[in-house]
Amino acid sequence: MIALASKALLGTVRAACLWRIWGLLLLSQLAIALPVVLPAGRAFREASNHRIESPHFSLATDFAAWSDLLPRLALLEPVLAAVAFAAFALGIASSAGWAALAARGDLRPTAAAFCSAAGEYFFRFLRLAMISLIAIAALRWLLYGSPSEALLRAWCGSEELTELSSEPVARAFVRSRSTLFVVGTAAAVLASDLGRLHLIRAGSHSALAAIAVGVRRLMRSPLRCGTAAAAAFALEIALLYVISFWVSAASSGDATQLNVASLFVATLAVGVIRETTRAGRFAALAAVSEDGR
């Protein structure tokens, strides 16, 4: 287990050294977010010009004026949908690149190889993602849809949580259901990640077969797979927590060029952490699936 956690950590550190790759990914993320952020920036700018002490313009000093500004910030849903889809596609491409670097020893860790792998495996990974999504949707239906409602009805006569006998019981129910959903979702993502690694190693094209392999590997060694993924996830969240203090510090006090720049760097760092820990997860999972071959 410790070895697997070390693999995740090592994979993350290695990915952090590949600055060309995550730089490319960061640029892509920024490009995707721009349609959302630019209108917000314009509205902020306009609002800022309407404040006398504009460098202080913040929630803390002018909550009410801030409140009044927000209704003016709105985007059309189609734009949001396009942005969301672009983010989804970028996630698939990035996974393909990192998975290929982790699974193929012959691949040199360069941006060109990363992009090439992302393109090569994109559609196979997309099919896998669809299967994974369908599994998650089914799980959600099971836990939040009719079966869950039927369970609640049988238990307390209604599908409303308010019918449960007390607040602690309701909270326990919500937490249990949520835990199940999270564990199920994590399992689906994990199985599909293992499937991805299999796709790359076996060079196969069948997403269904790949996910079947992923499920089999996950069922054979759930603890090892879980440890590999959890180590990377824990590292990601821990690093993000550290960044959050940075973000908080740069957001408080008067706005200066220095803290605006600092905040921007923190924002980039968040992207780097996400991408490199993703690489770390693939590295650890590659070790698991290598052992299981």
Partner 1 sequence: MVRARLADDGRSLHGSERIELRNTTPQPLRELQLHLYWNGWKSNQATWLAEQSRGLGRRKDRKVRNDSYAAIDVTRLVLSVRGSDLGALAPETVALDLLPSAAFIAPDDGNPADESVLRVPLPQPIAPGMAAGFDLEFELVVPRIVARAGRKDDFLLFAHWLPQLGVLEERTPAAGGGFGWNTHQFHANGEFFGEYASYDVTLDLPEKYEGRVGATGSCVEGPAKSGPGRVRYRFTQDDVHNFAWTADPGYVVVRRRFEAQRALSDPRLAAERLRVKAAAALSDAALELRDVEVTLLLQPEHADQADRHFRAVFESLSWMGIWFGAYPYPTLTVVDPRWGSGASGMEYPTLITAGSRVDPSSREFTPEGVTVHEFCHQYFYGLIGSNEFEHAWLDEGFTTYCTARVLEAAYGHDWLGTTIGVDRVEGRPLLSAAPAEYGLERLLGLQALAPPSLRDTAGFPLFADDPAILWYRDLPFLTYIAGPRPPVEAQRAGFVSGKPSDDRLNRCSFEYRDGGAYRENAYYKPATALHTLQRLIGEPAWTRLLREYAVSQRFRHPRPNDFFEVVRKHIRGHELEKEIAELLPQIFEGSGVLQYGIASVKSREELLPAGYTGHGGNRRLLAAAEPSQATKNYYSEILLERAGEVIFPVDLEWKLEGESPRRERWDGKERWWRKVIPSGRKLEWARIDPDRKLLLDVDWSKQEATVEGDGRASARWTVRALLAAQTQLQLFGALR
Using CB under 8 A as the binding rule, whether residue 58 contacts partner 1 is answered as: yes
Contact 192, 131 (CB under 8 A): yes
Of 209-268, binders to partner 1 (CB under 8 A) are 240-241, 243-244, 247, 250-251, 254-257, 259-260, 263-264, 266-267
Among 8, 15, 69, 288, binds partner 1 (CB under 8 A): 69
* Cα–Cα distance, 277 to 67 (Å, whole number): 36
Of 124-153, binders to partner 1 (CB under 8 A) are 125, 128-129, 132-133, 136-137, 140-141, 144-145
Shortest separation between residue 195's beta carbon and partner 1, angstroms: 10
DSSP three-state, residue 201: helix
Among 39, 122, 142, 292, binds partner 1 (CB under 8 A): 39
Shortest separation between residue 89's beta carbon and partner 1, angstroms: 9
What are the φ/ψ torsions at residue 109 (nearest 5 degrees)?
A: -75, 70
* Piece of 2-10, 110-118, 123-131, 210-218 that binds partner 1 (CB under 8 A): 123-131
Note the Cα 292 to chain centre separation in Å: 26
Residue 46 token pair: 């306009």
- What is the per-residue binding string for partner 1 in 183-212, x denoting contact by CB under 8 A? --x---x--xx--x----------------
Long-range CB pairs of 58-66 (<8 Å, 24+ gap) are 58/251, 58/252, 58/255, 60/252
* Cα–Cα distance, 42 to 78 (Å, whole number): 20
Shortest separation between residue 157's beta carbon and partner 1, angstroms: 8
Shortest separation between residue 43's beta carbon and partner 1, angstroms: 9
Q: Considering the complex, state which of residue 36 and residue 115 has its C-beta at the smaller distance from partner 1.
A: 36
Q: How many residues bind partner 1 (CB under 8 A)?
A: 106
Among 20, 45, 153, 205, binds partner 1 (CB under 8 A): 45
Contact 223, 142 (CB under 8 A): no
Using CB under 8 A as the binding rule, whether residue 1 contacts partner 1 is answered as: no
Shortest separation between residue 97's beta carbon and partner 1, angstroms: 12
Contact 125, 92 (CB under 8 A): yes
Using CB under 8 A as the binding rule, whether residue 49 contacts partner 1 is answered as: yes
Shortest separation between residue 236's beta carbon and partner 1, angstroms: 10
- Select from 41, 121, 113, 116 the least CA-distant residue to 73: 41
Contact 124, 63 (CB under 8 A): no
Q: Cite the beta strand spans of 46-127 per DSSP E.
A: none
Among 270, 283, 284, 288, binds partner 1 (CB under 8 A): 270
- Select from 119, 98, 89, 101 the least CA-distant residue to 29: 89
- Residue 51 DSSP code: -
